[in-house]
Amino acid sequence: VLTLKEAYRGYFDIGVAVSGRALKTDEGAFILQQFNSLTAENAMKPGVLQPKQGVYNWREADSIAAFARRNGLKLRGHTLCWHQQVPAWFFYDANNNLVNKEELLRRLQEHITTVVTRYKDVVYAWDVVNEVISDNPAEVYRNSLWYQIAGEDFISKAFEYAHAADERALLFYNDYNEISATKRAKIITMIKNLQQKGVPIHGVGLQAHWSVTEPVEEQLDATLEDFSKLGLKMHITELDVSVHKKEHNARQRLPTDSDTLYTTEKETAQTVAYKMFFRLFRKYRKYISSVTFWNISDRHSWLDYFPVNKRKDYPLLFDKNLQPKQAYWEVVKFQ
């Protein structure tokens, strides 16, 4: 059987987001068959790594790094600066007042330097800054505590700190909803500004949390075309394809964990979508060097727990028993 990583050898790496626990189960051996790159789904985020100031918790991240080293897998680091899964202590002093910009940047620098240095030998690319562009058309940057305290400067600083800690690491800006022309334009403008200022940025990460209805082909082609013009590496960093239509993502409660949600109709639509997505990834192979799935199989997806969804999803290429789905065969078939 042709596996994903074999089918795409010479095109791009095929990655997967994992927990430390998954690597110790039957999924560990399965990953070695199908994938050649890993991302820690949560273990390398600041909230896990440095829950209290100066108190690092390396356990899960170290186990994933060790698995990558032992088995010769690539490892993408995710993520150094984000508005979620970041502990509150970053932003407050001992009296519970917001820290000033200098102090916040000092804390960010300490965190980035420590983390990047620790995994220098194994992490070849970092999602340095994650999701700082707003989804609201009326504003450019997300109004996070990072932004409120430090303005946009924390973005360039994060890249500089990471580069100082490992000058060989490829440094990425990573975001979702990249298929929206409005948001994409803002992401591209920000990246161009960073490039003009000489900030060490080497790649753009497209998360690719998509669905059976979005993006359509023209939209995806325009997306990949626009980003390819930046002259940076492109990584597809968090690919999954929800089988639920947009309208069902909007707080409509559907029954949980019932395979009746995954109809033949949905599986067919998903197969068509996956086939088109990979055809376009191959079209842009000169620019795309890595495609990572956000989770291993339909046994577990973050979409199952996403608070507004409240229903099981089936977004990946393998079913709960790690068996290839229809979409898998289209993805490895190249037509």
Please list the helix, strand and coil fractions of the chain in percent, rounded to the nearest 5, in that order: 40, 20, 40
Angle at which helices 153-165 and 181-196 cross, to 10°: 60
Active site (annotated) includes residue 217 = no
What are the beta bridge partners of residue 98?
Answer: 92
Give whichever of 270 and 301 is closer to ligand G3I, judged by the CB atom.
301
- Tokens standing for residue 39: 């991302």
- How many degrees, rounded to 5, is the angle at CA 89 between CA 85 and CA 90? 75
Q: How far is the CB of 48 from ligand G3I (least distance, A)?
A: 8
Strand, helix or coil at 116?
Answer: helix
CA 161, CA 190: separation in Å to the nearest integer? Answer: 18
Least spacing, CB of residue 232 vs ligand G3I, in Å = 19
Q: List C-alpha distances in Å: 83 to 60, 133, 200, 313.
A: 21, 11, 21, 25
CB of 147 to ligand G3I, least distance (A): 17
In this structure, are residues 165 and 116 in contact, taking their beta carbons and an 8 Å threshold?
yes
Task: Decide whether 42 or 195 has the Cβ nearer to ligand G3I.
Answer: 42
**Alpha carbons 298 and 262: distance in angstroms, whole number:** 11
Q: Considering the complex, state which of residue 18 and residue 165 has its C-beta at the smaller distance from ligand G3I.
A: 18
Q: Which is nearer to ligand G3I, 52 or 70 (CB)?
A: 52
**Residue whose CB is nearest to ligand G3I in the complex, by number:** 302
Return the number of the residue (302 or 329) whose C-beta is nearest ligand G3I.
302
Quote the least distance from Cβ 77 to ligand G3I, whole Å: 12
DSSP code for 325: P
Catalog residues that contact ligand G3I under the rule CB under 6 A: 41-42, 84-85, 130, 176, 207, 238, 302
C-alpha–C-alpha distance, residues 245 and 239, integer Å: 16
Q: Which of 11, 3, 46, 40 is nearest to 23 (CA)?
A: 40
CB of 1 to ligand G3I, least distance (A): 28
Q: How far apart are the first and last CA of the chain?
A: 17
Set 27, 41, 60, 131: catalytic member: 131
In the residue annotation, 139 being an active-site residue is answered as no
Q: Provide the annotated active-site residues.
A: 131, 238
